Amino acid sequence: MPDGAMPVLEVRGLKTVFHTRGGSVHAVNDVSFHLMPGELLGVVGESGSGKSVTMMSLIGLLPSPPADVQSGQVLLGGQDLLKATPEELRKVRGARIGFVFQDPMTSLNPVFTVGSQIMAPLRKHMGLSKAQAEARAVELLELVGIPDARRRLKSYPHQFSGGMRQRVMIAIALACDPEVLIADEPTTALDVTIQAQILELVKELRQKLGMAIVWITHDLGVVAEIADRVMVMYGGQVVEQAPVKELFRNPRHPYTRALLKTIPKLGGQRGERLQVIEGQPPILGFPPTACPFRARCAHAFARCEAENPARRPVDGLPLSQGHDVACHWSPEGAEDPSQEAAHA
Amino acid sequence: MLTFTIRRLLLAIPTLLFISLVIFLLLELAPGDPMSQVPLTVPPEVKQKMREALGADQPMFFRYMLWLKQFFIIEPLHILGAITGIDLAGDAQRIISWQSRSPVADIIAQRIPQTLTVIGAAYVIGVLIALPIGIYSAYRQYSWFDQLGTFISMIGFSVPTFFTGVLLIVIFSVNLGWFPSIYDTTLKVTDWASFLKQVKQMVLPVSVLALYNAAQISRYMRSSMLDNLGQDYVRTARSVGMTERVVVLRDVLRNSMIPVVTVIALGIPTIFGGAIITEQVFKVNGLGQLLISAIHANDLPMVQTLTFIFAILIVLFNLIADVLYGILDPRIRYD
Ligand SMILES: Nc1ncnc2c1ncn2[C@@H]1O[C@H](COP(=O)(O)OP(=O)(O)OP(=O)(O)O)[C@@H](O)[C@H]1O
Ligand SMILES: [Mg+2]
């Protein structure tokens, strides 16, 4: 990635709150990240950490009410999507940002043919005629590896297997050649061999098309395999962000460290217990005033209760290559809180 | 689909035969005599002759077969004959009403237009009102529109038609005098004035029934829309930049209509049989009223025939609903 290149997508200080009958849920708190052209950003974090809500906030996909994207900026090529009119947003959705969702079994409309579902965005955004859209749809299905594409256009979603449906979803998301593809756990609902195939497909498509990708997953193994950079989320916040090798080599946040320990190691001792992270995920009923991870953190000290840690650079490298963490503690023998306090 | 339809049609035959037998036996076992309406001054021998002429002295099985033959062969031939003007049935014995001594089919044919115009119009209007209300209520769930819709359909649903009917009569014909309270079946629409008159006299009964139907169907529409609005494919449609209009009226509506169309189709037979009370309230002499008066007069052939026609309609519209389901939902393939 060339130095000084502009990010395709830059998110600053994003905050999303759900106003529900049971009170507010502060699902996304001050999330900032960027995405360079052609880059693959892996987003990891346990269930409920705000990964999906963050990504859906970007392009206004959350139902409002209850969702309320309170503040922040989402810059796509200089345009702030949070200030865009609904009409402008629709021109971005599907055309410049493609979305692939977790469950391919339910993400396609059961009563329309696969062809018509691929052709809809093509006709809408690119103004193609029916014949042109059809030709492009065949091309897309071939691109995502669906054999006998022309005939399959007339099939309905239920006539496809789960893996094939996810391929169709990817074809739809890529239909208008978006600059950014957001894939929200695209392989979680698939079985392992199909997961591997979809991963291969995405790697291949990335080579061919060169779009930037945000890949949400629970699976650090997947991240290690395909991501350039990783963003770790916890309790609606970004707790650590680093290039993938750096993150695996030098995890700084106690949550990231715990997460890395939960990966079962190939060739590890049999009967060795898989590490789990003890405790409950945080309740997001209030805006955070303390570190969300403190209750489960082995290194927590007084300051973690008093102050929600801001993200701070670890290595002083520029934005696109740097490593940052949101934690008061640091692994370099700083387990003595007094020393840490002095350091701050 | 075609083989499915044919198979279902064939299957309908034993079903209907069984229903016909049940109807026949039920009514046969009920007390009653074809001569009960005949004045006492008629001598017994004459009555006996009349009985024989009607075939009422034959064993039950023969009478059943005779009725079937009359119902499925002779009466259809007569109807065909009346349409084409050719005498097809000859002078075979028809199903005769004990009450009026004229063929049952002729009386029914006289009554069908009233029922179809009033009850049919109410059904169509009810559906046309219900669908947009259901769609909009679901799209704006818990809005004041939805709350109001819920309230009105609760009323329409739970207040019986004899109450709303009388209420409307009291308000609009007794107090305001806008509409007649009695439906004049002799009215012939020949010009603009008589057409207006016809519309005016239809307003009250049609409103009562339309409210009832709309209440029911708008609820189905609403809940079906709500089911589908929460589905993942809706999010997908939005994520590719479809407008709300397309998302709701194309993606969601197309899915939501599947169960609703079925419900609407299944409701059609009730147009013929279900408006008995409303017909009574407004004195519309349609099929419902005919059935009631036939029951009162112990007119077995009429009751049998009407009941059986209702049964046929129900079986038929069940079949139609199934076929529609298969047409609307690509996931369902019947062969
Ligand atoms: N419609 C909603 N109403 C209220 N709260 C919501 C809604 N959608 C999400 N949330 C809350 O927002 C928080 C973040 O959810 P999100 O779906 O982003 O998690 P996630 O990281 O994507 O988890 P997963 O890995 O399970 O997909 C959760 O606490 C969830 O309860
Ligand atoms: Mg999620």
Tokens matching residue B203: 């307003």
How many independent structural domains does chain A possess?
1
Query: From first to last of its 344 residues, what are the pLDDT tens digits of chain A?
Result: 445 678 899 999 999 999 988 888 899 999 999 999 989 999 999 888 899 999 999 988 998 878 888 888 899 988 899 998 989 999 999 899 999 998 888 999 999 999 999 999 999 898 889 999 999 999 999 988 898 989 999 999 999 998 899 999 999 999 988 999 999 988 887 888 888 888 888 888 888 888 999 999 988 888 998 999 999 999 899 999 999 999 999 888 999 988 888 776 665 555 555 566 777 777 777 788 888 888 888 888 888 888 888 888 888 776 667 899 888 888 776 544 444 444 43
Domain assignment present for A168: no
CATH number at residue B262: 1.10.3720.10
Whether B255 and A90 lie within 8 Å, measured CB to CB: no
A162-174 and A114-126 helices, crossing angle to 10°? 10
Please report the pLDDT score of residue A276 as a whole number: 67
Domain assignment present for B274: yes
Domain assignment present for A200: yes
- The share of chain B scoring above pLDDT 70, in percent, equals 95
Residues of chain A with C-beta less than 8 angstroms from the C-beta of B243: 90
Closest CA–CA distance from residue B332 to any residue of chain A (Å): 10
SS3 A76: strand
Cis peptide before A292 (omega within 30 of 0): no
Does the C-beta of A26 come closer than 6 Å to ligand 1? no
The residues, any chain, with a CB within 8 Å of residue A69's CB and separated by 6 or more, are: A14, A15, A16, A57, A60, A62, A82
Please report the pLDDT score of residue A343 as a whole number: 42
Domain assignment present for B68: no
Domain assignment present for A220: yes
Compute the mean pLDDT over every residue in chain B, rounded to the nearest whole number.
86
Best mutation target, B228, B234, B240, B328, to test chain A (most A CBs within 10 A): B240
pLDDT at B39 over 80: no
Annotate B40-76 with DSSP letters as a single string: TTS-HHHHHHHHHHHTTTS-HHHHHHHHHHIIIIIHH
How many independent structural domains does chain B possess?
1
Sign of CA dihedral A151, A161, A201, A35: positive
Whether A107 and B330 lie within 8 Å, measured CB to CB: no
CB B25 within 8 A of CB B61: no
Whether A92 and B241 lie within 8 Å, measured CB to CB: yes
ipTM for the predicted complex comes to: 0.86
Please report the pLDDT score of residue B110 as a whole number: 85
Domain assignment present for B139: yes
The residues, any chain, with a CB within 8 Å of residue B31's CB and separated by 6 or more, are: none
Q: How many CA atoms lie within 13 A of B281 on its CB side?
A: 24
Please report the pLDDT score of residue B181 as a whole number: 83
Best mutation target, B139, B238, B239, B251, to test chain A (most A CBs within 10 A): B239
Domain assignment present for B304: yes
Domain assignment present for A127: no
A212-216/A237-243 β-pairing: unpaired
Sign of CA dihedral A214, A220, A222, A228: positive
pLDDT tens-digit map of A73-101: 899 988 899 998 989 999 999 899 999 99
Sign of CA dihedral B282, B286, B288, B292: positive
| Own/partner pairs, A192-197, CB within 8 angstroms, 24+ separation | A194/A161, A194/A162, A194/A163, A194/A166, A195/A222, A197/A163
Please report the pLDDT score of residue B43 as a whole number: 82
The b/e string for A123-147 (b: 16+ C-beta within 10 A; e otherwise) is bbbeebeeeebbebbbebbebbbbe
Domain assignment present for A61: yes
Tell me how far the alpha carbon of residue A330 lies from the centroid of ligand 2, in angstroms: 29
pLDDT tens-digit map of A148-180: 989 999 999 999 998 899 999 999 999 988 999
Closest CA–CA distance from residue B194 to any residue of chain A (Å): 47
pLDDT tens-digit map of B198-207: 888 888 889 9
CB B21 within 8 A of CB B63: no
CATH number at residue A287: 3.40.50.300
How far CA B63 is from CA of B54, B60, B107, in Å, comes to 10, 5, 22
User: Residue range B13-33: average pLDDT?
Assistant: 84
Whether A61 and B254 lie within 8 Å, measured CB to CB: no
Is residue A38 packed enough to be buried (19+ CB in 10 Å), middle (13-18) or exposed (0-12)?
middle
Return the ligand number nearest the Cα of A62.
Answer: 1
Please report the pLDDT score of residue A336 as a whole number: 44
How far CA A195 is from CA of A63, A189, A212, A317, A327, in Å, comes to 29, 9, 20, 34, 34
CA distance linking residue A241 with residue A225, whole number of Å:
17
Domain assignment present for A162: no
Segment holding B287, helix H or strand E: helix B287-296
pLDDT tens-digit map of B275-285: 788 888 888 88
Whether A121 and B232 lie within 8 Å, measured CB to CB: no
Cα–Cα nearest to A102, from A18, A30, A166, A150? A166
Measure CB to CB from residue B254 to each of A111, A121, A172 and give the nearest one.
A111
Q: What is the pTM of this model?
A: 0.83
Give strand pairing partners of B211. Answer: none
pLDDT tens-digit map of B170-227: 999 888 888 888 887 777 888 888 888 888 888 888 998 899 899 999 999 999 999 9
More confident residue, B52 or B320: B320
What distance lies between CA B17 and its chain's CA centroid? 21
Tell me how far the alpha carbon of residue A35 lies from the centroid of ligand 1, in angstroms: 22
Cis peptide before A66 (omega within 30 of 0): yes
More confident residue, B252 or B42: B252
B253-273 and B287-296 helices, crossing angle to 10°? 40
Range of the domain at B170: 112-328
Domain assignment present for A288: yes
Is A127 in the B-facing interface, judged by CB distances under 8 Å? no
Domain assignment present for B210: yes
Range of the domain at A214: 9-96+176-265+274-342
